[in-house]
Amino acid sequence: MVSPDIDETAGAQEKAEGLVERLAIEKAHAVGANLPDSLIIGSDQVATYDGKIVGKPGDRATAVKQLLAASGQTGLFIYRGCPLELQFWGDSITGNPL
């Protein structure tokens, strides 16, 4: 497993479905940039409740606050995967989503 080290911040108007898809693709490309001739699977998961994206809490106090706010509500986890086949051609790499 390789960490893609990308910014996972949602855009101001970005919806959960678009965010999770964008992050899966960006992660696949970020990891694949260093692994030519490889099959890469980038993926991400976004949690939502009450129609709002729930970000990573970062600390215990924020996690407790998020859990209390979501208590008794139905949450949704949205997952996307992006398989990417990378091929090395001379001095360039091309990525083809599968």
Whether 7 is a known active-site residue: answer no
Dihedral of alpha carbons 8, 13, 16, 22, sign:
negative
Q: Could you give the CA distance from residue 8 to residue 25 in angstroms, rounded to a whole number?
A: 12
The catalytic residue among 5, 7, 44, 91 is 44
Beta-ladder partners of 48: 53, 76
Active site residues: 44
